[in-house]
Amino acid sequence: MKVNLKNMTIEELKQFCAGESMESYRALQLYRWIWKKDIDNFLDITTLSKKQREELESRIALPRLKVLEVLQARDKTLKFLFGLPDGNTIESVFIPTKRRKTICVSTQVGCSLRCSFCMTGKTGFTRDLSVWEIADQVRRVESIVEKRISNVVLMGIGEPLLNLKNVMKAIKILNCENGMNIGARKITISTAGIIPGIIALSQESIQVKLAVSLNAATDRKREILMPINRKYNLGRLFEALEDYYSLKGKRITFEYVLIKGFNDSISDAKRLASITENIPCKINIIPFNSIGPGKFKRPDPERIKKFINWLSPIAQAVSLRVSRGSAIGGACGQLRARKP
């Protein structure tokens, strides 16, 4: 099997070059060719000798994700279906605004958490994505839309903190100034509340943002939406988040999917404000996006407005996320692995 250089950070490329009896500065050259110039074969690397290029081409891999389908919504949101080398598929979403060019990235094929409001949970879990499969989503989209990606959110298919080793290596590739040079503070990891992953992330030096999918303010309701709450309940979760904040000093975002008649009452708003009051945070309200037939419904606009009006005076910063790409199945909770 060929060695895959796209799974390597610069530090690992230096070790690779040493093993190949190549000068250490070649690592930086290779990295730039791979991630800045986006080559897919070594024969194009003009800074290497012909012999070096031919030798590397015969033994080393530079794979790319295969673009199987691109769907565009009226709001200019794009959803990409990518094919993986083993035949599996993932989806990514490009969300352009005047201020930002954001991509929502997947970290696993499928998901094991089975959240009842999320399409991904209905497909089951297949495997973790490798480092290059995570990072290359950003590179492929950037090359297709011909615009520089400014923000990356790891909120697509899968639970990032269950694939944290590969996620962090991919983030280092995205963040590297010799690669795509995306600022760490422009990268957000979203989790359903995997406590060991939160603890591990708190030990990382890179200053990415953390978002927590909360969705209910009591264990009883949260367990209905998110079975993972039976393992990591709200009490344990908030203890871990308080420790995380004490170490990182960075405000946490809480994501709250608003569901008609389930978690959209004034008492829900009061409990949400209460459980989040001790951690510097922002609460992001996300009206439920349809995932097909089921018991959950989106609140009407007046109810959404009321909930935010109830919550805003008693909670910390509150915002309403305007869903993008729902008509093409690209909004929060709608992504899934599928065939084109």
Catalytic residue chosen out of the listed positions 104, 118, 281, 332: 332
Q: Which amino acid is at 313?
A: P
191 CB contacts (<8 Å, ≥6 apart)? 159, 160, 161, 197, 198, 210, 211, 212, 213
Contact 182, 223 (CB under 8 A): no
Catalytic residue chosen out of the listed positions 17, 91, 133, 142: 91
Q: Is 332 a catalytic residue?
A: yes
Distances (CA, A) of 313 to 23, 47, 280, 309: 61, 60, 15, 7
Determine which helix (DSSP H) or strand (DSSP E) holds 236, and give its type and residue range. helix 234-248
Contact 316, 281 (CB under 8 A): yes
Report DSSP state, residue 260.
Answer: T
Contact 7, 132 (CB under 8 A): yes
Question: Which residues form the catalytic set?
Answer: 91, 332
